[in-house]
Amino acid sequence: MKQSGASSRAYYEVMAFWSNGVLEFSHYSITPLLHRSMRRIIVAPSILAADFSRLGEEIHRVEAAGADWIHCDIMDGHFVDNISFGPEMVGIVSGLTSLPLDVHLMIEHADHYVPRFIKAGANSITVHVEPEAKHDLASTLQRIRESGCRAGLTLNPETPFHLLEPYLDKIDILLIMTVHPGFGGQSFRADQMQKVRRAAKWNKSHERKIDIEVDGGINAHTARLSIENGANVLVAGTSIFHSKDYAKAIRDLRGEPPA
């Protein structure tokens, strides 16, 4: 796992600390929209929507624009009907930025591939709860955390929330998919906000908090809806990389006033 850096901004204070070998964060914000949770809203641009012919430039632009993490979507053509890239590309991205790499494995047998993504420089690795992912979930999560990476768990829109509830105390990030994974540019599914609310309710009843991440159709409007329901991490591809002003797009996602 690479050592991650964080950019400083006037509106935020970010505190990072190690607990049992796992990097954890407390997030605070003073922007009006975020008073509801007082947790810093993290924006993680998904490079799947970037221009790969100039990927280095794209990553540097979102980093300068205020991105917090870089999100890497890994697809194998089996668990989802698309193929993206693998550990080698994650390693290249790791060498291009000091931002944490948030890796989402939409693949079968994630337990087999996790060590390769750890070696490539992932800072957090999220795996799927569905049986179709074909791995021992508890063992995979333990392996991720023992490596020093943050462990994430996710579920498809059609998957019931109760399947992941037994693992909530074993993860650092819960990713709620607001589209069916596999392809960018899909419409946001507002019905998935009930899962965000359930995760936020879990956070309120536990001292140790998890990051609640949303991914799929995230723009300024759906970001606001997600934040209001309890999300604090926004994965966005098209709404950032297809915009003319990356910094404005990121501010709009957070609900920040114009610069």
- Catalytic positions, please? 73, 215
Distance CA 8, CA 12 (A): 8
CB 43 within 8 A of CB 254: yes
Bridge partner list, 155: 176
Query: Residues near 3 by Cβ (< 8 Å), separated by ≥ 6?
Result: 98
Residue where the block lists tokens 């930025």:
97
What whole-number distance in Å separates Cα of residue 36 and Cα of residue 224?
Answer: 11
Question: DSSP of 128-182, one letter per residue?
Answer: E-SGGG-S-HHHHHHHHHHTTPEEEEEE-TTS-GGGTGGGGGG-SEEEEESS-TT
Phi, psi of 15 (to 5 degrees): -120, 125
